[in-house]
Amino acid sequence: MSATLEATRSAVASGQAMLEVKNLEAWYGESHVLHGVGIDIRPGEVVTLLGRNGAGKTTTLRAIMGLVGKRTGSIMFNGREMINERSDIIARAGIGYCPEERGIFATLTVTENLMLPPVVKPGGLDLDTIYTLFPNLKERANSPGTKLSGGEQQMLAIARILRTGANLLLLDEPSEGLAPVIVQQIGRTIRELKQRGFTVLLVEQNFRFAQTVADRHYVMEHGRVVDMVANADLAASMDRLHEYLGV
Give the tens place of pLDDT for each residue, 72-101.
Answer: 999 999 999 999 999 999 999 999 999 988
What average pLDDT does this structure show over 41-48? 96
Give the tens place of pLDDT for each residue, 236-245.
Answer: 888 888 888 8
For the chain, what is the mean pLDDT?
89
- Residues comprising the chain, all counted: 247
What average pLDDT does this structure show over 7-20? 61
pLDDT tops 90 at residue 218: yes
Q: What percent of the chain has pLDDT over 70?
A: 94
User: What is residue 2's predicted lDDT score, i.e. its pLDDT?
Assistant: 43
Residue 12: band (very low, low, confident or very high) from pLDDT cuts 50, 70, 90 = very low
pLDDT tops 70 at residue 5: no
Question: CA torsion 122→20→157→207, rounded to 10°?
Answer: 140
CB 42 within 8 A of CB 2: no
What average pLDDT does this structure show over 176-205? 91
Reference 122, options 93, 91, 165; nearest CA is 165
pLDDT tops 60 at residue 14: no
- In the beta sheet, which residues pair with residue 19? 41, 77
Strands 31-41 and 19-28: antiparallel
Reference 71, options 35, 40, 96; nearest CA is 35
CB 156 within 8 A of CB 177: no
CA distance 203 to 206: 9
Q: From the CB of residue 183, how many other CB atoms can be counted at a distance below 10 Å?
A: 20
Q: Where are the alpha helices (DSSP H) in the chain?
A: 3-14, 57-64, 87-93, 110-115, 127-133, 135-139, 150-162, 180-195, 207-210, 234-245
Amino acid letter, residue 182? I
Instruction: Enumerate helices (H) and strands (E) in the chain, giving the number of each.
Output: 10, 10
User: What is residue 1's predicted lDDT score, i.e. its pLDDT?
Assistant: 39
Give the tens place of pLDDT for each residue, 141-152.
Answer: 999 988 888 889
User: What is residue 77's predicted lDDT score, i.e. its pLDDT?
Assistant: 97
User: What is residue 247's predicted lDDT score, i.e. its pLDDT?
Assistant: 54
Burial class, 31, CB count within 10 angstroms (exposed 0-12 / middle 13-18 / buried 19+): exposed
CA contacts within 13 A on the Cβ side of 233 = 11
pLDDT tops 50 at residue 125: yes
Reference 48, options 230, 247, 238, 177; nearest CA is 230
Reference 224, options 48, 27, 41, 55; nearest CA is 55
Superfamily of domain 3-245, CATH level 4:
P-loop containing nucleotide triphosphate hydrolases (3.40.50.300)
